Chains A and B, each alone.
Chain A
């Protein structure tokens, strides 16, 4: 069966209808240099008579070149164990589609998955409502910022305080998305000793002017835990909303954003929580696809982009699921839909839901505890090497920034030659952190992995 639906007859009929003599004439408005007619740049091997086989061979070669390195790299994407059942189930025909069904097409099974996902995300974040996913964690943060500025009716100023301890790639993404909406992102420097955000830095950045929201990363890009309670209280005292940017695995151990702050009636809890769902069952696959999540309090639910699945009973008393409260979806809000986000990451939501169901609350807590314990063991071992020490002195979850006695890029290259991904070079984004390395250990790292890393690093430095 041909995969191109138009026969030559169909094509000529369509061209005749619109009065064009040929495909060339149809496209004559497009300057020739902009057309992709010339594919001579493609590798010769792909031009052979059996292109599918050639492409498959090329991709296998590239995959072999990637190898299966020993990974101590985190910085926003984490290698976790994924039970085999997750993708076995997620790729069943009933779920497996690149396409997200609209209301009228969504099956009860799909709707129930969304409902379960949302229930689990609200339980993890301690908030009232969750949408059914966004593209990734960075765009979820951008949506959270837009949402906070829209929703904060006490403050008209479109300013968002954005700590420098938020992942630099996330900050770039947020900037790209909000810069044409009149929103000002105010950078808050981190404390040079602790790597965290302090109230005095916030006071200075706010400069006495009102702001709509404060972003609080937990843990932050340095792996460091922020003082979320005092930051939340401070933001609420200034009539600003609090956006928690959180790691869902870390939430199994750390207090959920919904409980941040002193919990007084007026001040308690972050208003919005968002983050990257990749640690919940998505493999590391050259950068995607990923899964953004976004949760909020009941008060903000009509500002939440995306869809919410609700559960109800039909006339016969049988449970039924339906999409509801989608005030920012295109078909409800028309031009005021936030980013025309309708396509959610449905398949990844399915995987995350199965992953969380299989682990359960206790399982997720075990994973988080193992990540933390392995990271402590890793740091202890690496700091045995003379010249290596933590850059910041505050507690971390599963990543830590280490100072190295030799240039970071040299170390990364030397360890890559031994098939070890040693970590992330934050000096590329923070010049003052040149000569440091962000390392990470998840529950998948063993004692012998850590020993191998330590030995290889020792050799690279000797």
Chain B
């Protein structure tokens, strides 16, 4: 079974979100999601400055067998994207919870984070898959 680090929260659409403690949060896709997708060949990141609302499709990950939308777990403005992914999308396959982060956003409403799943709840969710 995939790792589910407990230092972050998860959405039911398989994104993780880590509160950086400085008013920003980092977003990526879970280890479980990258395993399900298989070898990634392309990542379309959002643009810095994009205003996202919670559950809005904002990025695309494309593998050899499917292309999937990535949804922003919470609302906020994109402040940084992982530029390395344009050349090396496989970073997500290798280290989905670290090097393979996708974007950072300025948290608009911290209470939205409370609606996301903790590691235990997410672990249960993917155990059902």
Contacts A302-B42, A332-B62 given: A153-B47 contact, CB under 8 Å?
yes
A146 to chain B minimum Cβ distance, whole angstroms, is 16
Residues 375-386 of A, flagged 1 when their CB comes within 8 A of B and 0 if not, give 000000000000
Expressed in whole angstroms, the Cα–Cα distance for A38 and B69 within the complex equals 49
- Nearest residue in B to A303 (C-beta to C-beta)? B44
- Nearest residue in B to A332 (C-beta to C-beta)? B67
Is A333 part of the binding interface, using a Cβ–Cβ cutoff of 8 Å? yes
Give the number of residues in B that approach A within 8 Å (Cβ atoms). 8
Chain A interface helix/strand/loop/mixed: helix
Is A175 part of the binding interface, using a Cβ–Cβ cutoff of 8 Å? no
Q: Is A302 within 8 A of B69, CB to CB?
A: no
Chain B interface helix/strand/loop/mixed: strand
Count CB-based A-B contacts (< 8 Å): 18
Is B36 part of the binding interface, using a Cβ–Cβ cutoff of 8 Å? no
Q: Which residues of A contact B66 (CB under 8 A)?
A: 331-334
Residues 307-338 of A, flagged 1 when their CB comes within 8 A of B and 0 if not, give 00000000000000000000100011110100
Q: Which residues of B contact A302 (CB under 8 A)?
A: 42, 44, 62
Expressed in whole angstroms, the Cα–Cα distance for A430 and B67 within the complex equals 44
Expressed in whole angstroms, the Cα–Cα distance for A302 and B42 within the complex equals 9
Q: Which residues of B contact A331 (CB under 8 A)?
A: 66
Q: Which residues of A contact B65 (CB under 8 A)?
A: 332
Q: Is B69 within 8 A of A327, CB to CB?
A: no
Expressed in whole angstroms, the Cα–Cα distance for A333 and B47 within the complex equals 21
8 Å CB interface, B11-50 against A: 42, 44, 47
Contact partner, B69, options A153, A332, A336, Cβ 8 Å: A336
- Nearest residue in A to B42 (C-beta to C-beta)? A302
Q: Which residues of A contact B62 (CB under 8 A)?
A: 302, 327, 332
Contacts A302-B42, A327-B42 given: A336-B67 contact, CB under 8 Å?
yes
| Residue of B65, B66, B67, B69 with most partner-chain A CB within 10 A | B67
18 residue pairs bridging A and B, Cβ less than 8 Å apart? A153-B47, A302-B42, A302-B44, A302-B62, A327-B42, A327-B62, A327-B67, A331-B66, A332-B62, A332-B65, A332-B66, A332-B67, A333-B66, A333-B67, A334-B66, A334-B67, A336-B67, A336-B69
